[in-house]
Amino acid sequence: MTTQEALFRYTLQIGDNALILGHRLGEWCGHGPILEQDIALTNIALDQVGQARSILAYAGKLEGKGRSEDDLAYLREERNFYNLLITELPNGNFADTIARQFFFDAFNFYFLTALKNSKDETLAAIAEKSLKEVTYHLRYSSEWVIRLGDGTEESHQKMQKAVDDIWNFTGEMLLMNEVDKMMAAEGIGVNLDEIKSLWDDKVDEVLSRATLQKPESTWTQKGGKQGVHTEHMGFILAEMQYLPRAYPGAEW
Amino acid sequence: MITKHKISSIWKILENVKDPEVPVLTVVDLGIIRDIRYHNDELEVVITPTYSGCPAMNTIATNIKLELAANGFEKFKVTTILSPAWTTDWLSEEGKKKLKAYGIAPPVKETLDKSVLFGEQPEVECPQCASTQTKLISQFGSTACKALYQCQTCKEPFDYFKCH
Rounded mean pLDDT, A29-38: 94
Closest approach of B50 to chain A, Cα-based (Å): 9
pLDDT higher than threshold 80 for residue A53? yes
Respond yes or no on whether the N-terminal peptide bond of residue A244 is cis (omega within 30° of 0).
no
Using CA atoms, how far apart are residues A173 and A202, in angstroms rounded to an integer? 15
pLDDT at A12 over 60: yes
Query: CA nearest B14: which of B61, B77, B60, B64?
Result: B64
Find out whether B28 and B94 touch, Cβ atoms under 8 Å.
no
Check whether A158 has a pLDDT greater than 70: yes
CB atoms within 10 A of CB B36: 17
**Residue A249 has what pLDDT?**
87
Task: Report the C-alpha dihedral over residues A119, A121, A127, A133, rounded to 10 degrees.
Answer: 160
A94-115 helix and A153-166 helix, angle to the nearest 10 degrees = 50
pLDDT at B6 over 90: no
The mean pLDDT of A44-70, rounded to a whole number, is 97
% of chain A residues with pLDDT over 90: 98
Interface of B with A in 39-78 (CB under 8 A): 49, 51-55
B75-94 residues touching A, CB cutoff 8 A: 81-87
Q: A174-178, A198-202, B90-94: which range is least confident on average?
A: B90-94
**A interface with B, Cβ–Cβ below 8 Å:** 36-37, 39-40, 43-44, 46-51, 53-54, 121-122, 124-126, 128-130, 132-133, 135-136, 138-140, 142
- Tell me the mean pLDDT in the region B81-85: 92
pLDDT of residue B2: 53
Confidence of residue B39 (pLDDT cuts 50, 70, 90): very high
| Chain B residues inside the 8 Å CB shell of A144 | none
- For residue B35, list its beta bridge partners: B46
- The SS3 assignment for B154 reads coil
C-beta of residue A193 within 8 angstroms of C-beta of residue A176 = yes
**Which pLDDT value is given to residue B162?**
87
A60-111 confidence digits (pLDDT tens): 999 999 999 999 999 999 999 999 999 999 999 999 999 999 999 999 999 9
Residue B1's pLDDT band (cuts 50, 70, 90):
very low
* Residue B119: predicted pLDDT: 60
Q: Does this complex have an ipTM over 0.90?
A: no
Model confidence pLDDT, tens digit, residues A215-249 = 999 999 999 999 999 999 999 999 999 999 999 98
pTM confidence score: 0.93
B164 touches chain A (CB under 8 A): yes
A139 chain-B contacts, CB cut-off 8 A: 116-118, 139
**pLDDT at B3 (0 to 100):** 61
Which pLDDT does position A195 carry in this prediction?
97
Whether the CB-CB separation of A207 and A214 falls below 8 Å is answered with yes
What integer pLDDT is reported at residue B116 of this predicted model?
57
% of residues, chain A, pLDDT over 70 = 100
A 10 A CB-CB count for B59 gives: 14
- Residue in B51, B83, B116 nearest the CB of A139: B116
pLDDT on residue A171: 97
Chain B environment of A50 (Cβ under 8 Å): 49, 51-54
- Which helix (H) or strand (E) covers residue A53, if one does? helix A35-63
Determine the Cα–Cα distance for residues A70 and A34; give it in Å rounded to an integer.
32
**Predicted pLDDT of residue B115:** 56
Q: What pLDDT score was predicted for residue B144?
A: 84
For the cut 70, the answer to whether the pLDDT of residue B107 exceeds it is: yes
**Cβ proximity of A110 and A198 under 8 Å:** yes
Q: State which residue of chain B sits closest to A105, comparing Cα positions.
A: B117
Most confident option among A142-146, B5-9, B54-58: A142-146
**Nearest chain A Cα distance for residue B10, angstroms:** 27
